[in-house]
Amino acid sequence: MEPERGLLRVRRHDAVVALTGEVDLTTSDLLRSELALACASGDGDVVVDFTGLTFIGSSGLHVLIETAEALGERRLVLLGGGWAAYVVNLLGLTLQFPNIVVGQ
């Protein structure tokens, strides 16, 4: 079942956040709040599962950058590939922010 346009569903379990749908200007605050909770849940990596993500806009990328900066030495691990991982790699975010890791 395809998510409705503009809809973002987030499932979080401790420091793992799974996304389904789109991250844009209208949904980036939801992502921000869920990632803040994931960061506060422990002192290890924060994992974002992009498997169900169909779009990420600049506001969503900004949230990822904010999260990476807040994590300091901890890693922000982006899983699932797809469009979001392509954009992160295209923009060189993993080079600018060494604690952002794109995995499969």
Count Cβ atoms within 10 A of the Cβ of residue 40 and give its class: 0-12 exposed, 13-18 middle, 19 or more buried: exposed
The pLDDT tens digits of the residues spanning 6-37 come to: 599 999 999 999 999 999 999 999 999 999 99
What token pair was written down for 54?
């169909």
Amino acid symbol at 13: H
Amino acid symbol at 10: V
Contact 38, 17 (CB under 8 A): yes
Contact 56, 23 (CB under 8 A): yes
Count Cβ atoms within 10 A of the Cβ of residue 98 and give its class: 0-12 exposed, 13-18 middle, 19 or more buried: exposed
- The pLDDT assigned to 103 comes to 87
The pLDDT tens digits of the residues spanning 48-77 come to: 999 999 999 999 999 999 999 999 999 999
CA distance 12 to 66: 18
* Model confidence band, residue 3 (pLDDT cutoffs 50, 70, 90): very low
- The pLDDT assigned to 1 comes to 42
Contact 49, 16 (CB under 8 A): yes
What token pair was written down for 89?
């790699």
